[in-house]
Each structure stands twice: as structure tokens, then as C-alpha cells.
Amino acid sequence: MRPMRRTGSASMRCKLSQRRLNVQRGEKVMSKYLIVGASAAGIGAIEAIREVDAKGTITIISEEQYPQYSRPMISDLVSGKADFGKMMCREYEFWAKNDVQALTGRTAVSLNLSDKYVELDKGDRLNFDKLLLATGGKPFVPKIEGSDKDGVFTFTTLSDAESLVAKLEKARSVVVIGAGLIGVSVTEALVKRGLKVTMVELQDKILSLILDHTASEMIENVIRKAGVTIVASQTVKRIVGTPENGKVVGGAILTSGEQIPCDLVIIAIGVIPRTELVSGTDVKTNRGILVDKSMRTNISDVYASGDVAEAYDFVYGANRLLPLWPLAQLEGKVAGYNMAGKKTDYPGGTAMSSLKYFGIPIISIGVANPKDPDAYESLIKHEPERNLYRKIVLKDNQIVGLILVNDIERAGILFHLMRNGVNVKKLKQELLSEDFCLATLPRSLRRKLYPREYQ
């Protein structure tokens, strides 16, 4: 796979390098708070720590040079909708203002729990009192013959997006492997750039983790009308080169044997937790790092937050991986408070996607597409002529999931009913009504859901 390059103006480099920590090989540096990872969870932790402890030393390790940006916006960079400045989720001086020592472009390679230090890629060590593991996720890249050719990309970081943009000028057609959130996002960005896109999905429908068949088909139709070719129930088994240069992408061969000519291939199947740092240690993991409601692991003084952590899902009543930016930031904030001595419990989150693909707004929350539909009750309203779809999933008369397509105005009220575990038995008829609104609810329930407004 093509190595990623770092880009950005010199002024940005200068501003983002403030408070950079220089550590020599073999040197030991002590920090009260050590944070590995500088994306959403790391940002949340810094802000929480500084609310409680204004002076304790904070050191952050980031593999990226530009960590204070919104990763969900990298598709906007590719489409041309946003530049790097618009992607910044905190001011350039964020580290300096919070007195944070930063090690950028560096990788944490091992963790010693008994001596409480993290070793970096150049042999230097950072000792800590409190440690937050906010290492996030990494692209899942299946074994595909030819995936090392020039023109094959993943799509999860700013570097990925910048490297892709550099290739688009000479490209005309792209194969995107994966039709989940990442795959559809990059597909839309490429279409806006005028490229011909073929999206290949192993499942029988797109966005299979957040939509049911009806909603998926609605979005599929819109995407096809935009000129995208969608190939479902297949994947790419081999990437081939051009007749002139076998090392450069020239096409993708599907499991059916069909070859799709293309100039670029983007692997956008999803992300998996980056748990390598705790491998071989006593930190307990499942698919991700296991944490309690304080975001602490089973090891005292070691916390985990964000895409690497399995945190509490209030719908399932259990810890799950929920790789979502807002939840990562909240988890980091909870971890930061507890690291600094302010006891705080994570209230829990759940799967939640609020999107707009090809002009169609979509919201999917919780158990939107139950694997065992007979164990749930689904209230559905579908108006094909208006391209509207509303689905509310119930369990024991409580909302546990919903899908809204092109009809999202009432999402906030529905989520509040869901979050508070409200029994909606008497409201079922109203939930799908065009007239359903806050005033539909009994006053006592409104007071419970929105206490500030009724003080």
C-alpha cells in the first residue's frame, strides 16, 4: 500500500508544533498525566484535566503531526468542501493554552505497568502517574493480492485524504471497497470531484450496520442516480497493475472473476481498535480495551477512551465498541476528570449516526436493524413518493432504535424518549404521525425529559 505523506503549510506546522517536547534516545521523562493519542478522546481528556488540575504536567503522544482536526470531515477535504483550517476542531494554540507537552510524529511501542512508563519508537521513555490510552482505531485491511500497488489507499486520517487528493488530478475511475459509513462518504466526495466510482460491498446492501433493507435501498437508488456503480455480495480478491507498469493500479478483480478497470482503489471496510500497546500486558481486552464507568481499565491509574475502548451502551446494557467522535470526546472527558481526582461516571452512549448522503438526511440510532426481528416491535411509515422513511424499534414498549430517512425533524424528541427509557405504549399511534411533537407528550413527561425548561 502506498506510504502516506504529511502535508500542510509551514505556518500550520509552526503553530501546531507549539509546546513540542524533545526527548533524547533512552531519556526518561516524568509526566503526571500521559495521554497516548491526540484525537477526540485526547482532546476531551485535556479539557477535563485542566478544569480540575491547572498545573499537573500533561504529556500527549501523537503519531500525526496535525491531531486537532475533525476526522469525520476528511471526506469534505477530498470533495473540496473544506480546507484544513475548517477541519480544525480546536484553535491552533490549544496545546499551549492548556500547557500540554506534545510529542508529534512519534509512536508508543510498549507499555510497562510495573514501572509505569511508555516506551517510544526511538527508545525514549515517558513515565506517568496516570495514563490514558486513546489510541483509536486503524483501518481494517483484508489480505488482497496486489494491495501494495501504487494507487491503493485507506481512508481514516488527514494523511490518507491528502495522499488521495494528490492522486486525483490524473485519475478518472476509482474502486471503493466497502459500502459502510467510510465507503459511502468517500464515494460521495469522489463523485463531487467528477470521478467514476464503483463501490464494492461484501454484504447484500449498503450501510448494513445502520440501515435496514428498505432504508438501504432508498439510499442506494439515490447513489446510483448520481452515477455510482454498486456491486453487492462480492468483494475484491486481487488488484492488478497497468499493462505499462505492474506496480501501478490498473484494475480490481472481483470474486466473480469480473475485472473493473480503475486508476485507484480505496479500502474503506472499517476500523478496528488499536490495542497493540497493551498486548502482552495485564490490561484486559475483548475486541477493545475493557473499562468501567469511570473509563478506568482493570489496572489502577490506567484509563482508556475512544475507539479503542469498549464502553457502556445504555441500549444493550453492556460494554461495546462504539467508534463515534462525540462519544470518544465524552469518554475522554470522563477519563480526564477521574484521572484528576473528580469522580465522574460515564452515562453511556449507543450507536448513533447523523448523516447526509447525496442530499438525503439520515439518522440511525441504537438497535435500528435487529438481528432477531421477532423479539422486537417495529413501527414503520414509508412514503416512497416523498422518499420518506421512519422506523421506530420497540422492546417492552420502550424505544431501543430508530431509522429516519429524509424525515429527521423529530429525532431529538424520539432520542430523549429512548435515552430515558420511557414507556411509550400509549404513544405508539402518535410516534409516526406528521403532527407528533413535544406538545404531544403529557406535561409530566415533558418536565421529566426537559427539566431545565420547566424549572
Q: Is residue 450 part of a domain?
A: yes
Q: What is the pLDDT of residues 344-400, one digit of tens each?
A: 999 999 999 999 999 999 999 999 999 898 999 999 999 999 999 999 999 999 999
Is the domain of 158 the same as that of 240? yes
The predicted pLDDT at position 54 comes to 96
Mark whether 177 and 262 lie in a shared domain: yes
Per-residue pLDDT, 11: 39
Chain-centroid distance of CA 443 in Å reads 37
Query: For the chain, what is the mean pLDDT?
Result: 92
Q: How many CB atoms lie within 10 A of CB 80?
A: 12
Give the separation between CA 179 and CA 160, rounded to whole angstroms: 18
Residue 259 placed within a domain? yes
DSSP 3-state assignment of 176?
strand
What mean pLDDT do residues 31-35 have?
95
Instruction: Specify if 281 maps to a domain.
Output: yes
> Is 451 a residue whose pLDDT tops 70?
yes
CA–CA gap between residue 406 and residue 375 (Å, rounded): 27
What is the Cα 43 distance to its own chain's centre?
Answer: 15
Task: Return the pLDDT at 28.
Answer: 61
| Whole-number pLDDT of residue 26 | 52
DSSP type of residue 103: E
Confidence of residue 84 (pLDDT cuts 50, 70, 90): confident
pLDDT tens readout for residues 210-232: 999 999 999 999 999 999 999 99
Task: Tell me the pLDDT tens digit for each residue of 268-305.
Answer: 999 999 999 999 999 999 999 999 999 999 999 999 99
Looking at per-residue pLDDT, the higher value among 7 and 430 belongs to 430
255 and 283 inside one domain: no
Q: Is the pLDDT of residue 130 over 90?
A: yes
What is the total residue count of the chain? 455
Q: Does 157 lie in the same domain as 126? A: no
> CA-CA distance, 244 to 116, in Å (whole number)?
54
pLDDT at 444 over 60: yes
- Give me the sign of the Cα torsion angle 340, 345, 347, 349: positive
Specify whether 126 is located in the same domain as 64.
yes
Q: What is the 3-state secondary structure (H, E, C) of 115-134?
A: CCEEEECCCCEEEEEEEEEC
Question: What DSSP line would sit under 377-433, residue for residue?
Answer: EEEEEEEGGGTEEEEEEEETTEEEEEEEES--TTHHHHHHHHHTT-B-GGGHHHHT-
Q: Give yes or no for residue 446 having a pLDDT over 90.
A: no
Q: Is residue 251 part of a domain?
A: yes
Angle between helices 181-192 and 213-225 (to 10 degrees): 20
Residues 425 and 276 in one domain: no
Which of residues 251, 269, 287 is at a domain's end? Answer: 269
Residues paired with 390 in a beta bridge? 381, 404
Q: What is the CA radius of gyration of the chain?
A: 23
CA-CA-CA-CA torsion for 265, 268, 271, 277, nearest 10 degrees? 10
For residue 16, the model assigns a pLDDT of 47
Q: Tell me, what amino acid is at 58?
A: I
Task: Outline where 139-180 has alpha helix (H).
Answer: 158-168
CA nearest neighbour of 407 among 440, 360, 441, 369: 360
The residue among 47, 42, 84 whose CA lies nearest residue 61 is 42
User: Which distant-in-sequence residues (6+ apart) come within 8 Å of 166 by Cβ?
Assistant: 5
Instruction: Supply the DSSP string of 183-231, one letter for each residue.
Output: HHHHHHHHHHTT-EEEEEESSSSTTTTT--HHHHHHHHHHHHHTT-EEE
Give Dmax (Cα) for the chain.
73
Q: Which amino acid, residue 275? A: T
Q: Residue 79: its pLDDT value, please?
A: 94
Do residues 291 and 259 share a domain?
Answer: no
Predicted confidence at residue 434, as pLDDT, reads 86
Strands (E), 50-107: 58-62, 100-104
Q: Quick check: is 280 in a domain?
A: yes
Q: Could you tell me if residue 358 is left (phi over 0), alpha (psi between -120 and 50 degrees) or otherwise beta?
A: left
- All three cell numbers of 184, joined, read 459511502
Q: Can you tell me the distance from the alpha carbon of 290 to that of 197, in angstroms, rounded to the nearest whole number? A: 39
Give the pLDDT of residue 429.
87
> What confidence tier does 251 reach under pLDDT thresholds 50, 70, 90?
very high
Domain end (from 269, 295, 312): 269
CA distances 39 to 42, 267, 277, 377, Å, are 5, 22, 17, 38
Cell of 435: 403532527
Looking at residue 213, which CATH number applies to its domain?
A: 3.50.50.60
Assess whether pLDDT exceeds 80 at residue 249: yes
Range of the domain at 388: 361-454
Asked whether residue 262 falls in the same domain as residue 279, the answer is no
Q: 449: pLDDT confidence band, cut at 50, 70 and 90?
A: confident
In angstroms, rounded to a whole number, what is the distance separating the alpha carbons of residues 151 and 154? 10
Distance of alpha carbon 262 from alpha carbon 249, whole angstroms: 7
Number of other CB atoms surrounding residue 21 within 10 Å: 17
The confidence band for 57, taking pLDDT boundaries of 50, 70 and 90, is very high
**Residue 182 is placed in which grid cell?**
467510510
Q: Are residues 447 and 368 in the same domain?
A: yes
352 falls within a domain: no
In this prediction the pTM is 0.91
Cα separation, 41 vs 334, in Å, equals 9
Let me know whether 295 and 265 are in one domain.
no
Question: Where are the extended beta strands (E) located within 14-67?
Answer: 28-36, 58-62
Q: What is the pLDDT of residues 162-215, one digit of tens each?
A: 999 999 999 999 999 999 999 999 999 999 999 999 999 999 999 999 999 999
At residue 79, φ and ψ (nearest 5 deg) are -75, -20
Residue 2 belongs to a domain: no
Percent of the chain exceeding pLDDT 90 equals 84
CA 89, CA 310: separation in Å to the nearest integer? 24
Of residues 25 and 374, more confidently modeled: 374
**Are 331 and 369 within one domain?**
no
How many domains does the structure of the chain reveal? 3
In the DSSP assignment, the letter for residue 20 is: B
Contact 364, 379 (CB under 8 A): no
The pLDDT of residue 182: 96
Which of 339, 370, 390 is the last residue in one of the domains? Answer: 339
Flag whether 5 is in a domain: no
Which residue, 254, 213, 39, 6, is CA-closest to 132? 39
In terms of domains, do 331 and 406 share one? no
